[in-house]
Structure 1
């Protein structure tokens, strides 16, 4: 998939950042994601996983539409959420897409009010997302994409169990998991809500 096939504001933002053509990983996965496929993307650092995630979400959602979020992205902690928000803001210039971060070190009532006002993309830590959901602080009925960034963090504390609860509360959805390594515990997801998912293992030799 070439950058020329992206919506104009996104293509302009990519060009402004100096990206002339997709990275090798992006050539492998962007068209698959655009087609609606659920993926486990296994690739090393600096291969373009985060940029692929951002491009795919903006390209699919395009513009603000519903009050309820249409994309949910799980991250490991507050700093990861804020960093990803900054990256989204750089790429979504020229669109009206709304991004909101929900993390544990912030007043949950304020977060619930902000989400209620309307957002398209929620970047959340697993613990805070689950708490918001059980307090009726977030509506997942319109969700189109459920994503885990740098998924290695899932296997610390109770993150894996908390993220696994989310599909129990939503309908049909595209799932994307970006990780450095494929953990055998992901097979539980393949047997449940990600049973049709493709596993894309990026060839590190392409980086050389």
Structure 2
């Protein structure tokens, strides 16, 4: 079972949140994401994609704060999605010292830069906002371990996918995970950018 070989703090969080068993997607995806491979996770809504990614991210960061620069970046479509994902992460990190930060276009970039400078572990952002942080030296990627896009179907919008691919050019090495309901041609073309040697997990 994918929930067995987890950090004790994660096991405690799963018990506290009354998550007793893995979904079909989680059974397939968690071990493969844990291996460090680039992954396309394709499954319907309510299949446990986001929870699988949260679990893997926290496990990869060993449930503890470290350094100042983010070690995980999560991309979402907009402010509303950022807030929802931030809340979900906090449910799992409640009794750890992991620092989860949420940035979005409506929040002034100078405020974000000053708050990120204080030290974070997990950064949640929109593609355009992240690109702006990169262009203004507002975030360091020197410690980045994992980069994932939640509900990535929105990337069919040209401006969003361009922001993402441009940002990826600055990242030398990390694991990428794309979560979506369908692997449409635009998402599939990410193999030409940063999703090299990727595995598709489809439920």
TM over 0.5: yes
Which secondary structure state, in structure 2, belongs to the residue aligned with residue 181 of structure 1?
coil
Distance 1:125 1:191 in 2: 22
**TM-aligned CA deviation for residue 157 of structure 1:** 5.0
Residue 8 (1) aligns with residue 8 (2)? yes
Which secondary structure state, in structure 1, belongs to the residue aligned with residue 25 of structure 2?
helix
Conserved? CA contact 1:33–1:56, under 8 Å: yes
Question: What residue in structure 2 maps to residue 159 of structure 1?
Answer: 160
Residue 45 (1) aligns with residue 52 (2)? no
Question: What residue in structure 2 maps to residue 60 of structure 1?
Answer: 60
Residue 76 (1) aligns with residue 80 (2)? no
Distance 1:157 1:33 in 2: 27
Question: What residue in structure 2 maps to residue 144 of structure 1?
Answer: 145
Which secondary structure state, in structure 2, belongs to the residue aligned with residue 169 of structure 1?
coil
Which secondary structure state, in structure 1, belongs to the residue aligned with residue 58 of structure 2?
helix
Residue 90 (1) aligns with residue 91 (2)? yes
Structure 1 residue ranges (4+ consecutive) displaced by more than 3 angstroms after TM superposition: none
Distance 1:157 1:77 in 2: 15
Structure 2: give runs of 5+ residues left out of the alignment. Answer: none
Distance 2:58 2:143 in 1: 16
Which secondary structure state, in structure 2, belongs to the residue aligned with residue 175 of structure 1?
strand
**TM-aligned CA deviation for residue 156 of structure 1:** 2.2
Cα RMSD of the aligned pairs, angstroms, is: 1.1
Bigger drift between 185-194 and 119-128 goes to 185-194
- TM-score normalised to the size of structure 1? 0.94
**TM-aligned CA deviation for residue 142 of structure 1:** 1.3
